[in-house]
Structure 1
């Protein structure tokens, strides 16, 4: 491994509109010892063309891995890790961007303190498609409320709150990532799995320390295709992690809340798929709150099917809506475009 070299592992899928922002945020770290590895997971847009064009003049080492779509984030990041040669490593999706100044501060800390296993942040700001910061979201994670957090605190947050911090923007020692064998290819989840493995490793190796800062090291982009908006997938991730790492624990309350919330808007077929995903998802059927939510959902679906015959409204895109009356009378209207109240671009931070 190359000393002081930071390997940045980027993963993209149909992120062509955001690639330039991401790669420029890397340049703005102003740390010369960087290599960039991009895995494009079979994008159907022009991501590869954009990447190849940028590579021609990009001043840092930029390796592009163009592969068929797997949909397996952990596997894709592992493919990037195989190509990484740095002593330090970080991960990011191509639609997100780094807070460049904070990344440089983290790098300096890691280079000055060889016993630091990783640096992460208890804060993550959100940006819109145009890169403007959503100031209505303070970005403070629950981790920020814990003074001098210990490894057990981080493990507790993974189980009870389903996440301690964002993987994006956190910087890790490559040797430790290798020691825990990176991401688990057989798991749907990626970031939560890597963090749990990391925390369990550090609990057995007290010679390593870590640092949590309260400055956001990443700007997380919110848009229509964010993977976290797939609620069924998120629930499946948590049940898989619950089964592997806490099989004898009761389901965390947050997971029960997620499931009940999902059931409200799900069809009967979607509910069946949710509870047959794995052993732990089936066990959720024993929960009284979930049972009540299912009964209410089935009753509401019957009423809804009658209501939809009379009236239904469908979202075509961000602004256009189509209304259908009695299943055959259709008309559309355009929703007024909301004025953008976000005024600070992420590059101003």
Structure 2
């Protein structure tokens, strides 16, 4: 389908030690085959070769590419707000430099937004995962709970933010920049980024009912799974949800899915980690009233001594996606490397 060369799309990219994945990301932008794109990259103080890789690519990159290198803040919302301020497009999207776009679907979304001026955003109810090498994880179908709702309304999206702790992926979704500006972008005083922006957006559209939105089922993003994914930091994820719970639903009960997250985290946490988790904010303290949470804490403390003794005898640690270290009796240590061979039955994301 030929593109409608109309609105400028600003693609805001955020990277931190993503040197291995930058080329895949920027290539996926080129493969959208929509000429009216600008790319703004925020590098949040990477210690790898990210800046060198970006500067090398910029020399021959056919699209406008602005690179902003800064000291590490660790504040995703603040960093994306910096990119928003630099963006000039009528349309805007966000992505982490380790992820990649499904280029064909992105072009379809752009064309639809160009042809329907009342669309506030287009998002997807599906997100496929890829491994370090870019091969799709076929064990993860990628269907979100949103896919089960026929003709979802704004109230459905808000409900999913509370019940499922997220309606859809921010990456790959395309928004009218005027609306993002109207809600003042991300809240930099919140640990969370995507969930906060979505809730602010949905609340805005509740008031301004002249806007519509569209949910598609084709994935617009390939989410990269690797050892440095932020979502693997369970304590941070729980902190995000408790902050959102406190700000947007202070009078509601603890979301059941959050209870599951907390119990799962506590099961493998030590006493110090448990104390930190439940002293994060007001809502984290309130979680202590939950019976399931109380039971999980008791079991964790009881098992802490047994776990510590077991680790003294034998402990295996995963350093990265491939390297493992085994320690015996706290001082005998050796490491090994897992095979880096790709699964033969997987498809590379570029084949989609």
**Above 0.5 in TM-score?**
yes
- 1:294 equivalent to 2:294? Answer no
Shift of 1:335: 5.0
Q: 1:27 aligns with which of 25, 30, 34?
A: 30
Given that residues 133 and 342 in structure 1 are in contact (C-alpha distance below 8 angstroms), is that contact kept between their aligned partners in structure 2? no
Counterpart contact for 2:6–2:36, Cα < 8 Å: no
Aligned residues: 348
Say whether residues 1:141 and 2:144 are aligned partners. yes
Q: Which residue of 2 aligns with 1:57?
A: 60
Query: Which of 176, 191, 196 is equivalent to 1:173?
Result: 176
Q: Equivalences for 1:103-182 in 2 at 5 Å?
A: 103-182=106-185
Task: Indicate whether 1:84 and 2:87 are aligned.
Answer: yes
Structure 2 equivalent of residue 259 of structure 1: 262
* Helix, strand or coil at the partner of 2:19: coil
Alpha carbons of 1:255 and 1:339: their partners in 2 closer, same or farther (altered >3 Å)?
A: same
Q: Deviations over 1:93-114 (max 9, x none)?
A: 0000101110010011001000
Unpaired runs of 5+ residues, structure 2, are none
Residue in 2 aligned with 1:241?
Answer: 244
| Matched-pair contact (CA < 8 Å) for 1:119–1:172 | yes
Q: Secondary structure at the match of 2:81?
A: helix
**2:217 aligned to 214, 219, 238, which one?**
214
Deviation string, structure 1 residues 188-240 (Cα, Å, up to 9, x no partner): 00000000000000001110000000000011111110010000000000000
Change in Cα spacing, 1:342 to 1:43, as seen in structure 2 (3 Å) is farther
Choose 299-308 or 30-39, whichever is displaced more: 299-308
Supply the RMSD in Å over aligned alpha carbons.
1.6
Q: Secondary structure at the match of 1:4?
A: coil
1:38 and 1:80 in contact (8 A); partners too? yes
Q: Within the alignment, does 1:40 sit opposite 2:62 as a pair?
A: no
Contact 1:38 1:62 in 2 (8 A): yes
Partner of 1:69: 72
In 1: Cα distance, 2:187 partner to 2:200 partner = 10
Q: Determine the C-alpha separation between the residues in 2 that align with 1:269 and 1:325.
A: 24
Residues 122-155 of structure 1: per-residue CA shift (max 9 Å, x gap): 0111111111111111111110000000000000
Contact 1:132–1:342 (CA under 8 A) maintained in structure 2: no
Matched, 1:346 2:349: yes
The TM-score, its normalising length taken from structure 1, stands at: 0.96
Secondary structure at 1:101 match in 2:
helix
- Return the alpha-carbon distance in structure 1 between the equivalents of residues 269 and 203 of structure 2: 36
Corresponding residue number in structure 1 for 2:232? 229
Structure 1 residue 338, shift from structure 2 partner: 6.7
Q: Residue 123 of structure 2 contacts residue 172 of structure 2 at CA under 8 Å; is this kept in 1? A: yes
1:273 and 2:276 equivalent?
A: yes
